[in-house]
């Protein structure tokens, strides 16, 4: 998320405090722990989503939004940044752009949850692996950024991998592409919002809570909900959708401020790698020669892309 959105996607907050070397080291260690923990939790997320796979998709998404709201609000109050948030609420442009990013990320969440529930976790992992390469491609197409030879090679290898899977399956790996392009688009638009990670996330879930809350109210009124009329485990799992969404996002938001972008660039492969391993060894999803060839090309592409990025830095 973002939260590079997060800022890889979000810039973030600055401080004028001059730190001593040992203080700076402590901040860096804390940032590393927070960032690593966030990606580790994201890597475990498919296990949680598998537990709620028996529940209706839109109900899970709605509760994921609604139960994230109080957590995001409490964090903002704790940080003392309510004034910045109130200022953002008074900006029509800010609200409009946040509504756009909120819509994109909710679409991304929906595809992710559906894919895990329908045994397409390998495709999901592929989508998040190719996301950095899709981001580079979008920069070239929309922003006129020139690709160097290494970047162009990496994007080309990713395209070949997609072509292999398309030939094997007789259709585009649309789950992977939808996840990669939606998250890249989220990062692109989120980058334009001049707000910190905590304010931005709260704005997004506040906007999404309007339709999400209305949908939950309708389910309650018709008795088709699972939070009241389901089992006690359903209730716990639905409420838990908030913390498992908000906590890693906020952890990364604050960890990213103390991390080098090169470190974040390497950390971003933790979650899809864990997802890939869970899909193959826990969910026992089929992984044939075509998938192996495609993933091998993606891993090579990511290796040379990451090497090029680190060398430039």
Residue range 160-195, pLDDT digits in tens: 999 998 888 888 899 999 999 998 888 888 877 877
Residue 266 lies in a domain: yes
Range in 72-81, 90-99, 249-258 with the lowest mean pLDDT: 249-258
Q: Indicate the pLDDT class of residue 16, thresholds 50, 70 and 90.
A: very low
CB 3 within 8 A of CB 249: yes
The domain of 49 spans 21-312
In the structure encoding, which two tokens stand for residue 23, read together? 């203080």
Residue 167 lies in a domain: yes
CB 35 within 8 A of CB 264: yes
Residue 5 lies in a domain: no
pTM: 0.84
Residue 107 lies in a domain: yes
Residue 2 lies in a domain: no
Closest-CA residue to 38 (of 187, 249, 272): 249
Q: How far apart are the first and last CA of the chain?
A: 22
Residue 12 lies in a domain: no
Q: Indicate the pLDDT class of residue 221, thresholds 50, 70 and 90.
A: very high
Residue 288 lies in a domain: yes
Residue 9 lies in a domain: no
Q: How many CA atoms does the CB half-sphere of 144 hold within 13 Å?
A: 0
User: 6 versus 141: which is more confidently predicted?
Assistant: 141
Domains: count for the chain: 1
Q: How many CA atoms does the CB half-sphere of 55 hold within 13 Å?
A: 30
- Cα–Cα distances in Å, from 293 out to 122, 162, 165, 285, 296? 13, 10, 9, 16, 5
- Tens of pLDDT along 85-130? 888 888 888 899 999 999 999 999 999 999 999 999 999 999 999 8
Task: Note the residue count of the chain.
Answer: 313
């Amino acid at each position: 998320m973002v939260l590079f959105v997060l800022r890889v996607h979000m810039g973030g907050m600055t401080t004028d405090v001059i730190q001593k070397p040992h203080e700076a080291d402590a901040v860096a260690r804390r940032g590393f722990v927070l960032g690593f923990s966030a990606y580790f939790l994201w890597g475990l997320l498919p296990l949680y989503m598998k537990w709620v796979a028996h529940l209706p998709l839109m109900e899970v998404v709605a509760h994921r939004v609604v139960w994230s709201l109080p957590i995001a609000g409490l964090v903002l109050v704790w940080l003392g940044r309510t004034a910045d948030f109130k200022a953002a609420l008074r900006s029509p442009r800010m609200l409009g752009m946040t509504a756009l990013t909120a819509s994109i990320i909710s679409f991304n969440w929906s595809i992710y949850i559906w894919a895990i529930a329908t045994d397409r976790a390998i495709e999901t992992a592929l989508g998040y692996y190719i996301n950095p390469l899709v981001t580079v491609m979008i920069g070239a197409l929309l922003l006129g950024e020139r690709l160097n030879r290494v970047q162009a090679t990496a994007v080309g290898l990713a395209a070949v991998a997609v072509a292999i899977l398309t030939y094997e399956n007789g259709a585009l790996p649309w789950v992977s592409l939808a996840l990669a392009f939606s998250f890249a688009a989220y990062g692109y638009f989120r980058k334009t919002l001049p707000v910190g990670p905590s304010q931005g996330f709260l704005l997004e879930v506040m906007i999404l809570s309007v339709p999400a809350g209305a949908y939950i109210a309708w389910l309650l009124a018709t008795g088709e909900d699972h939070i009241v009329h389901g089992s006690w485990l359903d209730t716990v799992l639905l409420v838990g959708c908030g913390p498992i969404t908000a906590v890693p996002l906020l952890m990364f938001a604050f960890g990213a401020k103390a991390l080098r972008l090169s470190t974040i660039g390497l950390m971003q492969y933790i979650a899809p790698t864990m997802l890939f391993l869970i899909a193959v060894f826990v969910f026992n999803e089929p992984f044939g020669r075509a998938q192996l060839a495609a993933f091998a090309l993606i891993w090579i592409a990511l290796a040379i892309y990451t090497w090029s990025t680190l060398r430039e830095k």
